[in-house]
Structure 1
């Protein structure tokens, strides 16, 4: 089972980044609209989210994760086309062919992708924000345009990933899907955590046992952005989508498969860690 050792450990840290321990990498992707003031399109009515997150992968498991995705791509002759979940679900762009094959072939395709996601030794982690809830709570007026949803979701997700990394005495690296419009912003969010720590309201966040600036500086390693075709980011894309959609669609099958395989932090960690290390659903009633 993925992250078996984390589930059994207590919150005691020693030897961060020791030579005996390979790093942990958080692969991150976005889903939904990061701008809190942008009107939602009609197709997203009733499930208007912004999610930022993906999967945690131990350094020693990276090759296995890549191999699972590569085997899937070879079987289905994807070539360089990334397995992007929204294109797959909508049978759009390079996955339009899914709408033309038999139902049995379509079922086989989805069964194979679920197996990739559920067999990979990873842990799903992220922050999902209900955009209407964010505005209703007055955060848009409080933070204006200087604080986009991606900063809140990034800081929350990375802090929880840092806590998990510290349980195992590992450094944490971050890899996110590149987008010229936000590459610099995301990189600066990361640098700010290392240099200044969290900037959330201290009284509101106390119950989540926030880390100190020193904790971030000790544990965080490097950040990189990679293209959509990056094999591990393709898994991260499906994970953050499933975690986000689950907030609005409790019967979404992909999430249920990940849940049953204990590939989501909420089911892979001990209960004592869930309030401050599980998936964060933000601004929901």
Structure 2
């Protein structure tokens, strides 16, 4: 069968008990990125390289460094405003017109703690595992709906590689382990569906060009929950690059971007 690849990156702190230093109104953990068909990977890679060549970027694209003009992207702050506007216009255009589908699970860390999950569960990786299971399950549903299998590529982290690969194998062997009463409304996949659909998982270094694009996608999707006017996210929606844009409202509930543990004042993020 033809396949999708889910390029998966994270944004924010995965530790439920660690102070991120961010204000509660924008303190998230997100796991996500984008889905791309096997036959479209070369286009994404070539177009990413084209914009890097034009702006003489020889380091990985990292969205927070880019936005804050720091580290390897401090050069951006020394350009004229016209040049900076040109760079961002071209980068948004690149993200919004490559043949991919953005997807993520975004967890509000303050909401997670307020629900008592951090104290209830002894597994300090649960925040990461919850996000992984949700985003992979929804990606698998999307792949099935397009009659494709699903491969996963995630950014290598020596301390986490075996953990994330364990999450993958657990889904294939046991399926989801969320409470059935709560998750039933989302039409969860069965174990045998995971086994048929999930074919491989690989870790790749930060300099992987396709993973760098996932970094921008997951950040944009996460920030949207707190800043509904964030320009990169709005540009992605304009060109239907977020999975929810391809789904009916009923489908989006079970297949779309998941905003999890948001309190009532941020409830619109989950709608």
Specify if TM > 0.5.
yes
8 Å contact kept, 2:31–2:135: yes
Which secondary structure does the structure 2 equivalent of 1:82 belong to? coil
4+ aligned runs moved over 4 Å, structure 1: none
Distance in 2 (alpha carbons) for counterparts of 1:233 and 1:116? 15
Q: How far off its partner does 1:267 sit? A: 1.0
Map of 1:198 onto structure 2: 176
The aligned residue for residue 146 of structure 2 is: 168
- 1:231 Cα deviation from its structure 2 partner: 1.1
Match of 1:12 in 2: none
Aligned to 2:38: 59
**Equivalences, count:** 263
Which string of whole-angstrom CA distances, capped at 9 and with x for unpartnered residues, describes residues 53-75 of structure 1? Answer: 00000011111111110101110
Cα distance in 2, alignment partners of residues 247 and 84 from structure 1: 20
Counterparts of 1:31-42 in structure 2, within 5 Å, are 31-41=11-21
In 1, distance between residues paired with 2:240 and 2:147? Answer: 22
Tell me which moved more, 123-132 or 229-238.
229-238
Equivalent residue, structure 1, for 2:77 = 99
How far is the alpha carbon of 1:184 from its aligned partner?
0.8
Q: How far 1:136 sits from its partner (Å)?
A: 0.8
* Whole-angstrom distance in 1 between the partners of 2:243 and 2:118: 29
Are 1:134 and 2:112 counterparts? yes
Instruction: Give the CA deviation at 1:218.
Output: 0.5
Counterpart residue number, 2:164: 186
User: Structure 1: any 5+ residue segments left out of the alignment?
Assistant: 1-16
1:46 alignment partner, SS class: helix
Q: Is the aligned partner of 1:144 residue 2:144? A: no
Task: Classify the secondary structure of the residue corresponding to 1:228.
Answer: coil
C-alpha deviations, 1:84-106, integer Å up to 9, x for none?
10110111111001111100111
Aligned mates of 1:207, 1:173 — CA distance in 2 = 26
SS at match of 2:229: coil
State the alpha-carbon separation in 1 of the partners of residues 7 and 90 from structure 2.
Answer: 21
- C-alpha RMSD of matched pairs (Å): 1.0
Partner of 2:266: none
